[in-house]
Amino acid sequence: MSKSLPKRSENYSEWYNELVKRADLAENSAVRGCMVIKPYGYSIWEKMQRALDDMFKETGHTNAYFPLFVPKSLFEAEEKNAEGFAKECAVVTHYRLKNNPEKPGKLMVDPEAKLEEELIVRPTSEAIIWSTYKNWIQSYRDLPLLINQWANVVRWEMRTRLFLRTAEFLWQEGHTAHATREEAIAETEQMLHVYATFAEEFMAVPVIRGKKTANERFAGAEDTYCIEAMMQDGKALQAGTSHFLGQNFAKAFDVKFMTKENKQDFVWGTSWGVSTRLMGALIMAHSDDEGLILPPKLAPIQVVIVPIFKGQEQLELISNTILPIVKELKKRGISVKFDNSDKQSPGFKFAEYELKGVPVRLAIGARDLGNGTVEVARRDTKEKKTYPIEGIVDTISTLLDDIQVNIYQRAFNFRTENTYKVDTWEEFTKILEETPGFIAAHWDGTSETEEKIKELTKATIRCIPLDAVEEEGKCILTGQPSSKRVIFAKSY
Amino acid sequence: MSKSLPKRSENYSEWYNELVKRADLAENSAVRGCMVIKPYGYSIWEKMQRALDDMFKETGHTNAYFPLFVPKSLFEAEEKNAEGFAKECAVVTHYRLKNNPEKPGKLMVDPEAKLEEELIVRPTSEAIIWSTYKNWIQSYRDLPLLINQWANVVRWEMRTRLFLRTAEFLWQEGHTAHATREEAIAETEQMLHVYATFAEEFMAVPVIRGKKTANERFAGAEDTYCIEAMMQDGKALQAGTSHFLGQNFAKAFDVKFMTKENKQDFVWGTSWGVSTRLMGALIMAHSDDEGLILPPKLAPIQVVIVPIFKGQEQLELISNTILPIVKELKKRGISVKFDNSDKQSPGFKFAEYELKGVPVRLAIGARDLGNGTVEVARRDTKEKKTYPIEGIVDTISTLLDDIQVNIYQRAFNFRTENTYKVDTWEEFTKILEETPGFIAAHWDGTSETEEKIKELTKATIRCIPLDAVEEEGKCILTGQPSSKRVIFAKSY
């Protein structure tokens, strides 16, 4: 172990960057803005993928794969729908390199291999997918079409941060087509709830389910739903979005169908996505100055067992006791690592597994063996307790469930403590400066006011919560009447 | 169902193309050379991925993710190792589009957003990965490094065919680093055997395990191992390769490590991959003029149950009997579809599931109910039999195992019947013209002869089988002495 992590309280941002690297989650690559997701980080992402994919399939979706490239002309058809990120993208203009005649050993773009039409590396796949759906959909019998894709996408970001904002990232994008407006809205809402359930039950991150204001909406959408999570610095992180597209993309790509009543109509669309950004949310929501804290449901290693021994004989004695426990844990689907290497000291190992966020650590030495006990440390509370070896598998199993619940509850309490109901502009600005968090406040419903507030405070409306209560109030900035509170925060 | 498929005997190539489209496996996209993998096709690929991924993990590998782009300078370092496809690739030269001032509504590449260094869309990831490994490997303690990546890659192919050769395709690429030559060779061979086991046990496709000749070797490799399968037209399809890279990439990217003996040495590398090309092999190895034939282990739907009914009442009676069977099948991990839709006739459904290659079909009507029986049809032999409903789940389970074995055996017999031991040039050319297949023949070991044979017959040396017997012989073309037979064939 090298030097310790920066402290959250001193430099939250540095703490995050260092943690991502030291815990072997990801690192910057030789390509500007693109990251390498390292094996340990990727194994967490795989667990996320598996859980989400199961939920998508349970709700009737299937996976497919569409091309990486979008021809410029298709992009133009979509452009008015997706102005936001449409233009900052990677453009393929040539299809060959050749030896540079002037510089031996060097390559150059072959000017004779210029594409007739430029290809854009997909920043999102609406254009290519809706242009395909045109051929797949003729009649109401072809609907709904419920398709998801796991893919890499590229958006040319100028300022990047590992997981939170990278030029290339991994994500899933669902693209569905429906016969009616109501069905498409129901789908949009269903997928928002799938994301919220995943965030809360697997990531142990409580989220607010809401709608974006017109300003923050995906350009091609009639409505954008989102889940918003609070990080430990009080900032919000948008963890997933689900868009009701109306008939916008169907019109842009001429996707019509024959209704049951034998009429031609445009289909109704949705799209929804979460990305490797979730890794950032997971890390920032729970971890501490010693390293990661992972919820057991997403931890690649749920239990680590560290033997404390001198010499091969002691190790063998410990192994005799431990190996049947390892076997039994695996049988129950609990992932366990018995770290019997003699290259590092137990202290080194403890620090390493703390850094990596392993939820439960067992330590056992010769004296424990004699007593028939084992020391159990939980990562979330750092509590250590001695338990009898007899029944230890049940103990661990219960403990993992406890940790999952506790991590969620802690994040929930943190959010509650850092959420403020505010009715005056003075209080609003004071909180944002002194104790950032979520602010539930009234807003007059106009984009002008929203922008003005952003300009003055850097806070944006994260969402209009789906469960917002109707109440009479006045906009914190303009004093104009308002009927419900929205959530303001600074955000990632 | 529209018109029937082209017949294999009349136009094998058209039969394949049509089958891929009609069975909803894949189609061409709006992007030249790139395919859309449709949901049914993708669900087969997912099953392949899952099985392979499990095998990779069982052999100690973990997944990671490296950038899509390779900076041109890294490409140059690798170039001498990978001349083959290195130059036909998608080149990103710009990072922004802008509105075209002369054509309202149109976009153009922003000339001000030219990249300082061009980025290549990865045709394979050796360059980016080995440049990363340089930072990950310092000591023998960091070895072996056993990493796999699931990714999309792009090679600018001029003539493309769905699954078999596409500009973009999906694959996995393993990249490992080792402390010794022996270890790296053992890894290369292990992964070849993993591929062969997968092909034979899951795809039910028998393969020959062998080494490529120097001519056919991956440019950066010291040795390329491969598995070769025979398609129903007698042609060979290379279904997977595993490369022993020696120290070539370590030298190109300066990846050194401290040995146990405290010396600096270059690390030893391997890489190995299979791609969506396997889909092509799967389709062409087994299917017939009625459609796909899928091995049960990779079939998205293993069993379909088609009720034959008039009116809701009959359907309900049938459902009462069938639903508990469906439940029991699912409990055993067998994927089953009960197709109770009344939109299509049973005959239409039969043809559809035949086209889709569902291994087992049950049909049950009112009369069967009375008799306590059900009609069971197997896709591979088209045999139909009536079985008692009592015990049907066991019957189906056994049948699925039988089909998996039978499909393999049939392909194995086909290969045996179409493999020829040949000792004269006359016979060699005659077989290639009249009854193409695998030809085991002697070769003098020179690249010149190999090329000459290719020129004269279009047949290449598919591999030098690992289990080739030592025997004295004479090269079929030159008459020079040879000590073992190699496999010649025309290939995909």
CATH, residue B195: 3.30.930.10
* pLDDT tier at A353, thresholds 50, 70, 90: very high
Query: Which chain B residues are Cβ-neighbours of A131 within 8 angstroms?
Result: 30
Q: Which amino acid is at B456?
A: L
Please check whether residues A282 and A318 belong to one and the same domain. Answer: no
Tokens linked to B383: 């045999």
User: Hey, what are B88's tokens?
Assistant: 């036909």
Q: Which of B63, B67, B97 sits opposite A39 (nearest CB)?
A: B63
Mean pLDDT, range B57-68, rounded to an integer: 98
In this complex, do A39 and B147 lie within 8 Å of one another by their Cβ atoms? yes
Give domain status of residue B330, yes or no.
yes
First to last CA, chain B: 30
Mean pLDDT of B466-491: 96
- Kindly report the average pLDDT of chain B as a whole number: 95
Which two structure tokens, joined as six digits, stand for B193?
């055997």
Question: Does residue A132 belong to the interface with chain B, where contact is any CB pair within 8 Å?
Answer: yes
The answer to whether residue B316 neighbours chain A at the CB level (below 8 Å) is no
- Decide if B42 and A62 are in contact by the 8 Å CB cutoff: yes
Tell me: do A48 and A172 sit in the same domain. Answer: yes
Nearest CA in chain A to B70: A31
ipTM confidence score: 0.96
Name the percent of chain B lying above pLDDT 90: 92
CB pairs under 8 A between A and B: 183
pLDDT of residue B87: 84
* Confidence (pLDDT) at A80: 64
- A441 belongs to a structural domain: yes
- Are residues B279 and B313 both part of a single domain? no
- CATH number for the domain that contains residue A341: 3.40.50.800
What are phi and psi for residue B373, nearest 5 degrees?
A: -130, 170
Q: Do B459 and B394 reside in the same domain of the chain? A: no
d(CA B97, CA B77): 31
CB contact under 8 A, B93 and A93: yes
> Any CB–CB contact under 8 A between A348 and chain B?
no
Question: Which tens digit of pLDDT belongs to each residue from B252-282?
Answer: 999 999 999 999 999 999 999 999 999 999 9
A405 Cβ under 8 Å from any chain B Cβ: no
Q: Residue B485: which domain range?
A: 419-489
Q: Report yes or no: A63 at the B interface, CB cutoff 8 Å.
A: yes
Residues A343, A317 share a domain: yes
What would the pLDDT profile of A256-297 be if each residue is shown by its tens digit?
Answer: 999 999 999 999 999 999 999 999 999 999 999 999 999 999
- Residue B81 confidence class, pLDDT cut points 50, 70, 90: low
Nearest 5°: CA angle at A46, between A45 and A51?
Answer: 100
Q: Which of B254, B286, B318 is the last residue of a domain?
A: B286
Mutate to test the interface with B, among A92, A114, A135 (most CBs of B within 10 A): A92
Question: Does the residue A4 lie in any domain?
Answer: no
| Contact status, residue B309 vs residue B216, Cβ threshold 8 Å | no
In this structure, the number of other CB atoms found within 10 A of the CB of residue B159 comes to 6
Q: Is residue A373 part of a domain?
A: yes
Q: Is there a contact between A29 and B119 if contact means CB atoms under 8 Å apart?
A: no
Residues B236 and B205 in one domain: yes
Give pLDDT tens digits for A328-340: 999 999 999 999 9
Please check the confidence at residue B85 and state whether its pLDDT lies above 70: no
Residues A328, A203 within the same domain: no
One-letter identity of residue A185: I
Using the beta-carbon criterion (under 8 Å), do A67 and B35 form an inter-chain contact? yes
B5 occurs within a structural domain: no
- Residue B326 and residue B251 share a domain: no
- pLDDT value of residue B284: 97
In this structure, are A183 and A268 located in the same domain? yes
Last residue of a domain, one of B286, B317, B341: B286
Residue A86 confidence (pLDDT): 60
Work out the minimum CA distance from B131 to partner chain A, whole angstroms: 8
Kindly state the average pLDDT of the residues A472-483.
96
In this prediction, residue B143 carries a pLDDT of: 97
Per-residue pLDDT at A1 = 46
Give me the mean pLDDT over the A341-361 stretch.
95
Any domain includes A3: no
Average pLDDT, chain A: 95
On whether both A150 and A29 belong to a single domain, the answer is yes
**pLDDT over 80 at B9, yes or no:** yes
Instruction: Give the Cβ contact number of residue B434 at 10 Å.
Output: 7
Average pLDDT over residues B190-215: 97
Within a domain: B2: no
A246 with A394, same domain: the answer is no
Let me know: does A321 contact A364? Beta carbons within 8 Å. yes
Inter-chain touch A65–B36, beta carbons under 8 Å: yes
How far A127 CA lies from chain B's nearest CA (Å)? 10
Q: How many domains does chain A have?
A: 3
Left if phi > 0, otherwise alpha if psi is -120 to 50, otherwise beta: which for B60?
left
Question: Is residue A376 a part of any domain in this protein?
Answer: yes
Q: Are residues B274 and B323 in the same domain?
A: no
State which of A384, A410, A436 marks the end of a domain: A410
Instruction: Note whether A128 and A67 are within 8 A (CB).
Output: yes
Residue contact B72–A96, C-beta within 8 A? no
Q: What is the CATH number of the domain that holds B432?
A: 3.30.110.30
**Does residue A300 register a pLDDT over 60?**
yes
Q: In which region does residue A460 sit, left (phi positive, over 0), alpha (psi from -120 to 50) or beta (all else)? A: beta
pLDDT tens track for A204-244: 999 999 999 998 898 889 999 999 999 999 999 999 999 99
